[in-house]
Chains A and B, each alone.
Chain A
Amino acid sequence: DIQMTQSPSSLSASVGDRVTITCRASQSISNYLNWYQQKPGKAPKLLIYVASSLQSGVPSRFSGTGSGADFTLTISSLQPEDFATYYCQQSFSTGLTFGGGTKVEIK
C-alpha cells in the first residue's frame, strides 16, 4: 500500500492567515492526489482533485500544487468557515489511502 504522510498534524492560525499543509507519498503517484475538508460530525468534502484542480463550488482561496511524491494545499486567506480537518488521499493505486489529517484550529 502507498503510505500518505501529512504535516503538520495540527496548526493554529488566525483569520486572514496564509496556511500551507503538506502531503508526502511513499512512492511517486504522479498527480493522483486529492484533498478533502471535514468538519466535526460531517462527511468529508472534496476540495482539490488531481493535485491542482479546484472542485466546483470550492472557493478560489484553496489551491493545490505538486507532483510525484510531494504535494501542498494552500489556503491563501483563512476564513472562519475553514477551521476543519484536511486530508490528502492518493488515487494512483486501487487501494486508496488517506493521510492522517491536519487539524486547522483558531489561534
Chain B
Amino acid sequence: EVQLVESGGGLVQPGGSLGLSCAASGFTFTDYSMNWVRQAPGKGLEWVSHISSRSSAIYYADSVKGRFTISRDNAKNSLYLQMNSLRAEDTAVYYCARDHSDSSGTLDYWGQGTVVTVSS
C-alpha cells in the first residue's frame, strides 16, 4: 500500500524557517517524481514544487522561488521541503504528492498533510 506521511509542520514567526519531511513507503521511491502542494485555509490547491526521481529536474512556483528548497534522499525514501523567509501567506496545509509516472504532473497519491502557520 502506498503511504506518504508528512511531518515538520508547526507555528513559525514571519521571516523564520521550517523544514518539512515526507516519508514514503509501499512503492519504489526512486522510480517516481514527487511534488509539494499546499492549501491555504478555506482556499484551493496551489502547487509548490516538483523534483524528478533522480533530482535532475527541480521546479518551483513563482510564489516560493528563492525561498523554498525541495530535495529528496532516495536511500531514505524521503522528500523534503526547506522553507525560509516565511510569510503569513505561506500559512497552509502542505501535502506531498507522488507523480503517476516520472514527471507526468498527474498526482496519484497524496499524504494527509502537515499544517504550517506563519504568525507572530
Q: Which residues of A lie under 8 Å from residue B47 when comparing CB positions? A: 89, 95-98
Interface residues of A in 32-90 (CB under 8 A from B): 32, 34, 36, 38, 42-46, 49-50, 55, 87, 89-90
The range of chain B's interface size is 20 to 34
Q: Closest chain A residue to B101 by CB distance?
A: A49
The total of interchain contacts (Cβ-Cβ below 8 angstroms) comes to 61
Interface residues of B in 75-120 (CB under 8 A from A): 95, 100, 104-113
Q: Which residues of A lie under 8 Å from residue B45 when comparing CB positions? A: 36, 38, 44, 87, 89, 98, 101
Q: Is the CB of A87 within 8 A of B44?
A: yes
> Dominant SS at the A interface?
loop
Q: Which residues of B lie under 8 Å from residue A38 when comparing CB positions? A: 45
A-side interface residues toward B, CB under 8 Å? 1, 32, 34, 36, 38, 42-46, 49-50, 55, 87, 89-92, 94-101
For the complex with contacts A43-B113, A91-B106, 7 further pairs of A-B residues with Cβ separation under 8 Å are A1-B62, A42-B112, A49-B108, A94-B50, A95-B61, A96-B105, A98-B44
Question: 3 tightest CB-CB pairs across the interface, nearest first?
Answer: A91-B105, A43-B110, A96-B47
